Amino acid sequence: MEYRDFEKYFNPFKIFSTEDIKKKYPGFDSRRLVEWQQKEYIQKIINRWYLFSDSKINEPLLFLTANKIYAPSYISFDSALAFYGLIPETVFSIISTSGKKTKTFHTPVADFYFRHLKPSLIFGYRLESFDNQYFKIAEPEKAILDYLYLHPKMQSEEDFEAWRINRDWLEREIDKEKLERYLFYFSNKALTNRVQALLRIIRHG
């Protein structure tokens, strides 16, 4: 197996797994992966998942990586809110939602956190394009609900102020009807109260 041929095929994938390799090259010798890591051609992210070492590590690539290494999942919480400009940007960790159990991966490129939601709440995400690839990310309305649902202590005006949410963006861009429609599926009175408190603060801010 020539590395150039391997790179040419897998480079468009951005991130690839041993399963991806075996589908393309059934007789692939896994010792090549060790060799190419030693030569710094590729980099292991977690067990079975790799990036090319010269990849530009940016937010879209990290989001795509999160989607891939723990699927099915989608970007949400702080990561999605920062992506939309609702809270100050943070790149220290990537936070996702999954119907699978809560999981954390500390990797050479970022820390990836996956927060569990019951399967009936895995909805409200969209596909964002990235260099001929797509990553799944919560819509702004769903990212707010996901966050407040798993942060029940956020209730007072001081709590919301500490969140540093962009009030102008929220008031201008959030689809209130969609927010209420998504909220219905949570069937959680305490969450409803927190969302209403947030919206009151925004309107009167």
Q: What is the mean pLDDT of each run of 10 residues along the chain (205 residues)?
A: 94 96 95 96 97 95 98 96 87 91 97 97 97 96 97 84 84 91 96 90 69
Close Cβ partners of 198 (under 8 Å, ≥ 6 residues apart): 144, 148, 160, 165
Instruction: Please tell me whether residues 106 and 180 are part of one structural domain.
Output: yes
Which segments of 57-171 are extended strands (E)? Answer: 73-75, 93-98, 103-106, 111-116, 125-130, 133-138
- pLDDT at residue 101 in the model: 97
Q: For the packed helices 3-10 and 31-38, what is the interaxial angle rounded to 10 degrees?
A: 90
| Residues 116 and 92: beta-carbon distance below 8 Å | no
Instruction: Please tell me whether residues 177 and 78 are part of one structural domain.
Output: yes
Single pTM value for the model:
0.94
Q: Which domain holds residue 140?
A: 59-203
- pLDDT at residue 83 in the model: 95
**Domain count along the chain:** 2
Distance CA 131, CA 13 (A): 10
- pLDDT at residue 157 in the model: 76
Instruction: Please tell me whether residues 168 and 83 are part of one structural domain.
Output: yes
Instruction: Please tell me whether residues 47 and 63 are part of one structural domain.
Output: no
- pLDDT at residue 90 in the model: 67
- pLDDT at residue 72 in the model: 96
- pLDDT at residue 43 in the model: 97
* Paired sense of beta strands 42-46 and 73-75, if any: unpaired
Instruction: Please tell me whether residues 35 and 129 are part of one structural domain.
Output: no
- pLDDT at residue 91 in the model: 62
The count of other CB atoms within 10 Å of the CB of residue 8 is: 10
- pLDDT at residue 120 in the model: 96
Closest among 38, 42, 40 to 13, alpha carbons compared:
42
Instruction: Please tell me whether residues 67 and 47 are part of one structural domain.
Output: no
Which segments of 49-124 are extended strands (E)? Answer: 49-52, 73-75, 93-98, 103-106, 111-116
Angle (CA) 91-93-99 rounded to 5° is 130
Q: For the packed helices 176-186 and 189-203, what is the interaxial angle rounded to 10 degrees?
A: 160
The count of other CB atoms within 10 Å of the CB of residue 160 is: 20
Closest among 119, 113, 3 to 50, alpha carbons compared:
3
- pLDDT at residue 148 in the model: 96
- pLDDT at residue 92 in the model: 73
Instruction: Please tell me whether residues 184 and 157 are part of one structural domain.
Output: yes
